[in-house]
Structure 1
Amino acid sequence: MLSLLPLFAFSGKVIKVADGDTITILNSQKQQIKVRLFGIDAPERKQAYGEKSRKFLAEMIAGKNVEVKEKGKDKYKRVLGIVYRSGQDINAQMVSNGYAWAFVKYSKDYVKLQEYAVSKKFGLWADKEPIAPWEWRKR
């Protein structure tokens, strides 16, 4: 039997960029949906590159319409999703430009992009000893 499910779970306008991996979308029913970008982990706002990461994400999608491919929910009940703008994987853009880590604990999708960013010293990889967000949070 052929599935007629849409590729994207939902779409809407980005009304808030909280940090480099968390956004709020207003859908067509005027519901606000908090989305945690799946498979990546961006620096915390008070961490080195945290604000640069947030600004980079905001430049790409703030105030814009995006599509979200839902991958589940996290422990805070946020939608985990891959965000697309004009067919472009925004999560991938965050990693390949050096503004987020590939979050290999949950997905290996972006590892090659991280290796590329590291090799080119893009974004946070220009730092001598970048600290992964999950390590920074433990401190």
Structure 2
Amino acid sequence: MRFLFLWLCLTVTASAAAESLAGRVVSVLDGDTITLLSVGNVQTRVRLAQIDAPEKRQDYGQASKRALSDWVSGKKVTVEVADTDRYGRSVGKVLIGGTDVNLEQVRAGMAWVYRKYAYDPGYFSAEDEARAVRRGLWSQPNPVPPWEFRHKSRGPSFWDDFNPTRKPTQTPRPLSGVAASACGSKRTCQEMTTCDEARYYLTRCGVKSLDRDGDGVPCEGLCGG
């Protein structure tokens, strides 16, 4: 039994170690992507979790890249890896000492909270703070979230052309626990700044008051329903 216990401990330790990376940042590709050089000259592309920075062709795209570079370029960092994306990049929280660089990008107004994947309430609070004082990208009158910019750049899909008013196939289910608290306290269309935000609050947070006619399109004034 003692040997089994030791084996289990070693297995858990190895698993925990596999969930983090440490190394020096050798390149900054944009406001949410870096390249890490770790032991053995292994390079790893890292996507900062829970945030989405402006694309390079967007306003503040280059400013966001410079801000991230000021934080991490040439420095030793630790990455708490949460996932691997479809491009093979490690997705995680980048830390310098005890500082969460992902969070600082949001706080500085250099990135949005990536609502589709975010779960930490602190990120939403940081974005609200940056928005309130019109910091960084929030100094613009109508900043476009990068996920909307990418969608417009790709153009409408075949299905969007075929049925642009399609209804969701499932009834939105409210979140609970930490994920629910990440939704914030917004409950009306007047508080929404983009269609994407309104859709997030409807589909992920279960705020049905945003879709009073029940057609699956929240805040018609924003989403053109």
Counterpart in the other structure of 2:51: 40
What is the TM-score when the length of structure 2 is the normalising length?
0.59
Pick one of 52, 57, 64 that aligns with 2:68: 57
Given the alignment of the two structures, is residue 118 of structure 1 paired with residue 131 of structure 2, yes or no?
yes
Given the alignment of the two structures, is residue 86 of structure 1 paired with residue 97 of structure 2, yes or no?
yes
1-structure distance, mates of 2:49, 2:88: 13
What is the TM-score when the length of structure 1 is the normalising length?
0.95
**Greater strand share, 1 or 2?**
1
Moved over 3 A (4+): 1-8
SS across alignment from 2:41: coil
Report deviation, 1:8.
6.1
Report deviation, 1:108.
2.9
1-structure distance, mates of 2:105, 2:51: 8
Q: Relative to structure 1, is the Cα distance of residues 66 and 8 closer, same or farther in structure 2, using a 3 angstrom cutoff?
A: farther
1-structure distance, mates of 2:58, 2:26: 23
What is the alpha-carbon root mean square deviation over aligned residues? 1.6
Extract unaligned runs of 5+ from structure 2: 153-225
Counterpart in the other structure of 1:11: 22
SS across alignment from 2:67: helix
SS across alignment from 1:54: helix
Report deviation, 1:7.
9.7
**Greater helix share, 1 or 2?**
2
Percent of aligned positions that are identical: 38
SS across alignment from 2:59: coil
Counterpart in the other structure of 1:137: 150
Counterpart in the other structure of 1:20: 31
Counterpart in the other structure of 2:221: none
2-structure distance, mates of 1:95, 1:12: 23
Counterpart in the other structure of 2:88: 77
2-structure distance, mates of 1:106, 1:129: 23
SS across alignment from 1:46: coil
Counterpart in the other structure of 2:42: 31
2-structure distance, mates of 1:6, 1:119: 39
2-structure distance, mates of 1:41, 1:28: 28
Given the alignment of the two structures, is residue 105 of structure 1 paired with residue 116 of structure 2, yes or no?
yes
SS across alignment from 2:117: coil
Counterpart in the other structure of 2:201: none
